[in-house]
Structures are given as C-alpha cells and as structure tokens.
Amino acid sequence: MQGAYDTGIYRNVLLEYGYTIREIEDKLNQAFEMLFYGTAKERIYHTAGDDRGYIEDTGNHDVRTEGMSYGMMMCVQMNKKLEFDCLWKWTKTYMYMKDGENAGFFAWSCQTNGEKNAWGPAPDGEEYFAMALFFAANRWGDGEGIFCYSREAKEILHTCIHKGEHKEGGRPMWEPSNKLIKFITECDFTDPSYHLPHFYELFSLWGNEEDSKFWEEAAKASRSFLKKACHIDTGLCAEYTDYDGRPKKCTINTTQRHDWYYSDAYRTIANIGLDYSWFAKDEWESENADRLQKFFSETGNENGVYLIDGTQLEGVNALHPIAIIATNAQASLAAKGVYAKACVERFWNTPLRTGDRRYYDNCLYFFALLSLSGKFRIWK
C-alpha cells in the first residue's frame, strides 16, 4: 500500500461513511469560524492589533507554543494566510528567545500580553512550527523577513538538533544517541505524542541537506519506539515514557501522574493515523488503531482514565473527553477493524466543546475533522 505522499490521494473517510461533500465542507468551515471568530465562549483565537494574533489556552489562560503552532497548521491547511502570518508574527515577537542557553528556541508559555511565563521550550511546538512553515512556503511562496517561511523552518530544525554543539550551551530537542524527541530539553525521557515520523520524513527532504540523514533515522526510530510505547492489547500509551517505551512514573510541577493514558497521550493514536495516511510504511499502525478502537468500543469510555493495560482508575475523570472522541475517530485513517465507522460517527455527532477547557479538545477536534475529510495535506 502507498500513502498520500506517493499517490497524491487523501482519503475522505467522512465521504466514505455516507456524509455529503456539502455537509463535510460546512462542518469544517463552521468549526474554523467558531474557533477563530466565534463568541467569547467559543473562540480560541484573538487578534492583537492589525498584524498579530494568538491562540489562548483557555484552561490555563496563557499562550503556548503548542497552541500557536497548532493554529498555524490549521491556517495553512485552510488557506488562511492572514491569520497564519498574524500568529507567526506574535510568536516571533514574544515567544522567540534571542539570548541565553535556549536562544533560538521559543518560550513554551507566555501571558496573553506577550510577557514570558517561562524561559524554556517545549519540542512539540518547534516541530509543528517547522512543518507549518514548510507547508506555508510550498503553498503560498516565501516572503521577506520572518515571512521567508522555508528559511525560518530550516533555522528552527537546525537549532533543534544542533543546540549545545558550540560554546553557547543549551541542549538539543532530540536525543543524539537514539534520535528520539525529548519531553523537554533538560529531561532524558520522552512523550509518545510528540513523535511525528510523518513530519520527519518531510524534514529529511526539505530541511538542511546535512541533516537529511538524521531526520530519516528519526522517522524510523520514532516508528520503532511507538511499537514499544503502545500496549500490545489495548493500543494505549502513557503520557510520558522512558526511551524504551516504559511508562514514566513521575510528576512535573504537579501531583498528576504521567504513566496513565491521559491528556497528552490521546494525540498519539491521531498521529499514528496521519502517519499511516501519508506514508503507509508500517502495517503495525493499522493494527494498533484497531486495538485502541476495540478497547474503547467494548470496554472503555471517554470519561475514564486508564493505565495502559486498560485498568480504569477509580475517582479520576478525563479532563478532555472530547479529545478522546476526536482522536479515536482520527485513528480510522489507519484502522481496518469493525469499529472504525462507529468511532467516526460518534465524532461527527459530537459538537465542539465550549467553556474554559475547550482549547485542547477543540484543537484535536479540528485536526480530526481535517484528517477525516482528506484536508490535512502535504503541501509540496
């Protein structure tokens, strides 16, 4: 089987399951309008003057590289250049770090006025920034200054893997010994949901020529890692793991454990689905999607919190249940089992979330909608 990179054909799973082109287009456009220009209880995008804008994490009332890079990806896929450029200018103005050991990276959290809350980066933001910028360059063409998108993307990727090689200090975002992305630069463990082999395949083609081999190896390493991180029966993975895939029993500035199938972890199966859709390099991805959909359809529920073997934790509820529904549906890009259609139908009949916790759920909801409609595309 060949993926969309080779064929140029992107599955419209929603159309396959009986929804009309008009219904799909309307749902996609309405969702974007709600997230970017809806009411105060709906939108996550805010303008900041005529040429800047930001995505708010409405649950934490801050601006994160995760959300900014997600917003940029939404915009390039939807052909919204104005909003894309506003997000990128806000990012470069307030989040970019010019000095110190993390120079060249982006501060992972800022206040909505642009003041930095932290002086450390989060690798998931950097990899999404780079991919969105490459797509922007290919779809719209490079501009000048910070809007020379491809140059900006290459500079980000160079810093990600070469940081610390020279006297300025700092640490890279990928562990050089195993080519696996880190949770944060100063930690020696990873987050399975950060692993995006479908991005690394493209980085190997479009990044700096001298780093092509690194990204090829990173794609292979991440696909191998995910097999270790996802449970052989349930398909679930932990939020954080050691490099060998074992759940990491730790806390990071909170009492919340991270060896559960919890918030971050939901993205993993969505990433697996998209990797299979774009490149189709490993049938294990299809098998794992089937396992996870079977688990939730027969045993689990979207409000539960689980150990990766499927054991439900008493007295703990999912913080982002809509995200679970969305990512379970996106798994249908790879799934071939009997639950693929039911997971998509459950998603289709679920509305976007409103209220304070809407940001994370709705970002993953929109990515699922893009993916399942064949609109999450590689712009060459």
In the residue annotation, 264 being an active-site residue is answered as yes
Residue 216 lies in a domain: no
What is the 3-state secondary structure of the chain?
CCCHHHHCCCCCHHHHCCCCHHHHHHHHHHHHHHHHHCCCCCCCEEECCCCCEEECECCCCEEEHHHHHHHHHHHHHHCCHHHHHHHHHHHHHHHECCCCCCCCCECCEECCCCCECCCCCCHHHHHHHHHHHHHHHHHHCCCCHHHCHHHHHHHHHHHHHHCCCCCCCCCCCEECCCCEECCCCCCCCECHHHCCHHHHHHHHHHCCHHHHHHHHHHHHHHHHHHHHHCCCCCCCCCCCECCCCCECCCCCCCCCCCCEECHHHHHHHHHHHHHHHHCCCCCHHHHHHHHHHHHHHHCCCCCEEEECCCCEEEEEECCCHHHHHHHHHHHHHCCCCCCHHHHHHHHHCCCCCCCCCHHHHHHHHHHHHHHHCCCCCCCC
Q: How confident is the model over 296-303, as a mean pLDDT?
A: 91
> From the candidates 42, 56, 57, 66, which is the catalytic residue?
66
In the residue annotation, 191 being an active-site residue is answered as no
Same domain, 239 and 317: yes
pLDDT for 254 equals 58
Residue 340 has pLDDT above 80, yes or no: yes
> Residue 82: which domain range?
45-172
pLDDT for 249 equals 81
> From the candidates 264, 275, 285, 290, which is the catalytic residue?
264
Residue 52 lies in a domain: yes
The string of pLDDT tens digits covering residues 253-265 is: 555 689 999 999 9
Supply the mean pLDDT for the chain.
96
Same domain, 163 and 242: no
Q: How confident is the model over 220-234, as a mean pLDDT?
A: 98
pLDDT for 166 equals 78
Residue 365 has pLDDT above 90, yes or no: yes
Confidence band for 130, pLDDT divided at 50, 70 and 90? very high
Confidence band for 228, pLDDT divided at 50, 70 and 90? very high
Q: How confident is the model over 49-77, as a mean pLDDT?
A: 98
The string of pLDDT tens digits covering residues 24-42 is: 999 999 999 999 999 999 9
Residue 198 lies in a domain: no
Same domain, 371 and 285: yes
pLDDT for 257 equals 82
Same domain, 104 and 231: no
Same domain, 94 and 234: no
